[in-house]
Amino acid sequence: MVATNAIMVRNYWGCLLGLFGYPRRWAQLGNGLWIVSCHIVHTVGLTFPIDVIFLAADNSVLRMEEYVRPYNVVKVSLRASSFLQLPPHSIYRTETKIGDTIEITPRSNDTESSATPRGA
């Protein structure tokens, strides 16, 4: 499982802020931020590195960026319809690969989800 506790963001401010202001303890295995309808990822204001998985409309993995350090901007992906920001080394630990499909399952409310990779 890539993330058991992923928060969904669907608005401009959530896309702009991302994980800005989140404490370092957020970067624990299982946490995630799923940002929908956004094409750019930055780590400005973060105090920890992150992994990023870019997803197509069908939640297949288009691209991955591992261990993106604070105060960086990741190359724009116009093909992606959403992306997951994850704690560092999440991609390695879960053996996620390009072409895998991430199954995203809403939990008790619409803003929390879990994300599981399925082999291509």
pTM of the predicted structure, to 2 decimals: 0.79
| CA–CA gap between residue 43 and residue 19 (Å, rounded) | 8
Residue 71 pLDDT exceeds 60 = yes
Number of domains in the chain: 1
| CA–CA gap between residue 94 and residue 106 (Å, rounded) | 20
Domain range enclosing 8:
3-118
**Look-up: residue for tokens 């992906």?**
77
The CATH number of the domain holding residue 40 is: 2.60.120.1140
Q: Which residue has the higher pLDDT, 117 or 52?
A: 52
